[in-house]
Structure 1
Amino acid sequence: MKPQATLNTERLILRAFTDEDAPRVQSIVDDKRISDMVSNIPHPYPENGAITWIQDSQQRYENAENVIFALVEKDTNLVIGAMTYKLLPNSEAELGYWLGVESWGKGYCTEAGRAMIAHGFIDLELTCVYARHLTANPSSGNVITKLGMKHTERREGSCGDKFASIEFYELLAKDYSAS
């Protein structure tokens, strides 16, 4: 498999995670406010959980299961979050992300999400991108709709290790506009 792409936006570099990112990831995701808003991050975060997650993500990329990008702030060269595609059958993918609390409210997820959507439809030739968020996290819904995704449903169900109300969205390639 070819190396994972690196994407650039105005303020961010989206690149593959490296083992050296583990201490920073560990410190970010150990914050309970992150696990409260993200379905698959436990609290407390397991010791050495970040290095295991990074190495697993590298393997999932090699197995064509996921594409996981570190969100790196250009000004500081610090990892501030992650954005992922879970690759699905029929050239479809589910977009997911998390962001460190100190970076909330600055538009980073929308900026990175636009780059991810373009990468997905143009480079990965996806036909549809899905996203979901916990209903209790409306800020995530705001990001998703800014990316041009359409709300499809709300339902109760399992989302990671949580059973909660979940909002679902999708964006079809035919409806995507790079503008």
Structure 2
Amino acid sequence: MDFAKIYEDYNKDIYRFALSLCKNQDLAVDICHETFAKAMDKIDTFDGSQDIRAWLFIIARNTLYDFYRKHNKTNTGFDLNLVEDKKISFVENIADKDLALKVHTFLHSMNEPYKEVFNLRVFGELDFKSIGQIFAKTDNWARVTFYRAKNMIIDYLEEENEI
């Protein structure tokens, strides 16, 4: 495998994913670099049974978790990006800063794996198959988990009379 090509193809994706998890540009750059350093060291163990992008996302996630454990920090959460849904257009409805704050607050309270699956789908722009591989689950599990997370947000906004 041409590692330079892998780096070129996936560097921005890994950076955006790390940034969406940690909300710190410097830390995201460090996580991205560490991810590719680990991947380069272990590229011979990559068997090709899963998508290389999903494998890199797993390494990035675990690298960030290791950082938090080592530094006894907690995840500061992530920002909501734009997601289209038949029931709600986040592009239109989150333009209001007060509404955006409510959505962010709710996202921080969401349980795993909903928060992370939502994050991978929205920020990582991963397909459901790749998300399923990251969690060692099926793509159908990833799809259902994502839609449940999205529906939790929609239900919350409806309860708050925001949509």
TM-score in terms of structure 1 length: 0.28
**More strand by proportion, 1 or 2?**
1
Q: Which has the larger radius of gyration?
A: 2
| Structure with larger RCO (C-alpha < 8 A, sep 6+) | 2
TM-score in terms of structure 2 length: 0.30
